[in-house]
């Protein structure tokens, strides 16, 4: 999730409040897809495919619409203004999802049981959780590799560095923007789709998740891939630590970490963006 957010920020310089909404849409879409697959009588293992397809569908359908139809109108304007635009988008998507899928919760159980249980020492863990971690790591590595080792990736990096210079060198910047946004949304939707089996998919998903991803991205550094990974790790650890040592701190530990990072090292742990402060 954070990976997508930081990618969108790095390339388009937009901090996307609606990112969580795409996560939710991904989750809902996943619920639908899995439902359809099951109704079609397909075996349970295909539910994984359903999840993936759902994310791709969301990205392919929504992303170009949003990017071209909406964000493009406001490019070049103040960064906070763009955040407000994404806030408006968030409001719109909140209701859109409610309209499309209704207010009742969905349960996507099929994929969760697929990986069975794993014995580690005395504890029994659900295999799905491990698979999820594996996917997250794979995504992170994949994006890193894609950016640094492939030709397209290098073009994207150029745009991240300076859209103006890249454009004067012949790069089709608007296409890079569309692509980056689509990929970022795909990651958000994927996050939602893969998490769907673990939770109940209902309205309000996007609200809580987007703030956490903000925290992750701020801690790691806006625009930095390694930062997103590090940030996610730190947030997860902070939360776990809080739950074990001082439960009341669980909720605010994340935001406290975010505040601390902003105070002492606003650029995040892996600097990419110079913090706008005096």
Partner 1 sequence: MKRTVLSGLSLTAIFLITGLLLPKWLQFLCTMAAANGVVSLGIVLLMRGGVVSFGQGLVFAGGGYAAALLSNKLGVTDALLLTAAGGAAAVLMAAPFAALLARYRGIFFAMLTLALSMVLYGVLVKTDALGGSDGFNMHRPTLLGMRIADAWSGYALYAIAVCVCGLLGTAARVYFDSARGLVSLAVRENELRVEYLGASVARVMAANFILAAFLGGAGGALAIMALGHIEPNFSYWTTSGEFVFVAILAGHYSVLAAFAASFLLELVRSFSSSYFPNTWQMALGIFLLVVIRFFPRGLGSLLKK
Contact residues: partner 1, CB under 8 A: 15, 70, 73-74, 78-81, 83-85, 87-92, 94-96, 98-99, 103, 207, 211, 214-215, 218, 222, 247-256, 258-259, 262-263, 266, 275-278
Instruction: Pick between residue 114 and residue 256 the one whose CB is nearest to partner 1.
Output: 256
- Per-residue CA distances from 210 to 87, 207, 257 (Å): 11, 6, 16
Strand partners, 117: 126
User: Quick one: angle between helices 205-220 and 2-12, nearest 10?
Assistant: 60
Residue whose pair of structure tokens reads 């958000």 in the numeric block = 188
The CA-CA-CA angle for residues 128, 212, 245, to 5°, reads: 80
Least separation in angstroms between CB 54 and partner 1: 22
Task: Identify which of residues 81 and 240 has a Cβ nearer to partner 1 in the complex.
Answer: 81
Cα→Cα distances 161→72, 155, 157, 166, 167, Å? 19, 10, 6, 8, 11
- Min. distance of Cβ 91 from partner 1 in angstroms? 3
Residue among 51 and 188 whose Cβ is closer to partner 1? 188
The nearer residue to partner 1, 226 or 250, going by C-beta atoms, is 250
Q: Which two tokens stand for residue 110?
A: 């099929």
Q: How far is the CB of 278 from partner 1 (least distance, A)?
A: 5
Q: Nearest distance from residue 86's CB to partner 1, in Å?
A: 10
């Amino acid at each position: 999730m954070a990976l997508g957010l930081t990618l969108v920020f790095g390339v388009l310089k937009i901090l996307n409040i609606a990112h969580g909404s795409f996560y939710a849409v991904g989750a809902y879409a996943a619920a639908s897809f899995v439902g359809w697959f099951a109704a079609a009588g397909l075996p349970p293992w295909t539910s994984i495919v359903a999840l993936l397809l759902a994310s791709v569908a969301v990205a392919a359908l929504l992303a170009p619409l949003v990017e071209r139809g909406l964000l493009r109108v406001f490019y070049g304007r103040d960064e906070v203004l763009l955040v407000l635009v994404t806030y408006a988008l968030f409001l719109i998507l909140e209701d859109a999802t409610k309209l499309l899928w209704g207010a009742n919760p969905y349960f996507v159980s099929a994929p969760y049981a697929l990986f069975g249980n794993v014995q580690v020492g005395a504890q029994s863990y659900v295999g799905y959780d491990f698979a999820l971690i594996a996917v997250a790591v794979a995504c992170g590595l994949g994006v890193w590799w894609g950016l640094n080792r492939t030709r397209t990736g290098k073009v994207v990096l150029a745009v991240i560095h300076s859209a103006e210079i890249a454009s004067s060198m012949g790069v089709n910047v608007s296409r890079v923007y569309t692509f980056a946004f689509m990929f970022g949304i795909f990651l958000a939707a994927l996050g939602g789709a893969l998490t769907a089996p673990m939770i109940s998919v209902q309205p309000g998903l996007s609200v809580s998740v987007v703030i956490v991803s903000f925290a992750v991205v701020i801690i790691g550094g806006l625009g930095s891939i390694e930062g997103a990974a590090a940030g996610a790790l730190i947030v997860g650890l902070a939360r776990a630590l809080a739950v074990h040592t001082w439960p009341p701190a669980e909720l605010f530990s994340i935001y406290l970490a975010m505040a601390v990072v902003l105070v002492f090292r606003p650029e995040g742990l892996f600097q990419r963006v110079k913090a706008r402060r005096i």
